[in-house]
Structure 1
């Protein structure tokens, strides 16, 4: 699958500034957060990752527009990974910015959640 295959995205925005665009490509949910993911803004991402009731949910979070992520963002991703895996699905991360990639590596989340340098790789089954 490619970026061009993403269908009808919709956007939710947290008043504090994090915007999350959600779309789908086939049966893969694609989330693209824009801005900073922290204690004040993380709820927008948490809500977008809540796919309760979706059988075998598969989600790619495209991080190329995230400028900062603290431990709150890490915790949101870990919780989503567990929930999605328990539901028979998966979570993948794509295109993290240098700053976000460094955070993912420092805490070791890149060894727990599949991280991909490109969106195309993350979308491939």
Structure 2
């Protein structure tokens, strides 16, 4: 089971916090959330993975799809605070170049 907390900061950055296992079932919901944010012109999005205990290929696909969609609209999707399990998956799939982890949600767009 997974829950998602979604908010938009005062600076217009969308923050999505998956809490639990980001697997095939949850990936569909994440795609919907990201599409909704982009549809509302929120094109800078941080996915806070600090409470994500598991990530599979479907979850990775949803994140990569979010990167593509936000970049097409002139924005970007960044990840913050990945757990050790998530970091391992990112390293094994060589996606650390595309989804470079940030230390915190607050500093994800500071560069």
Q: Which structure's CA Rg is the greater one?
A: 1
Structure 1 unaligned blocks of 5 or more: 1-16
Runs of 4+ in 1 over 2 A off after TM superposition: 51-56, 117-121
Matches within 5 A, 1:1-125: 17-25=1-9, 26-50=11-35, 51-55=37-41, 57-124=43-110
Structure 2 unaligned blocks of 5 or more: none
Q: CA deviation at 1:119?
A: 2.4
* Greater share of residues in strand: 1
| Structure-2-length-normalised TM-score | 0.89
The 2-side partners of 1:62 and 1:56 are apart by 16
| Structure-1-length-normalised TM-score | 0.79
- Bigger drift between 38-47 and 50-59 goes to 50-59
The 2-side partners of 1:56 and 1:43 are apart by 19
Q: CA deviation at 1:64?
A: 0.3
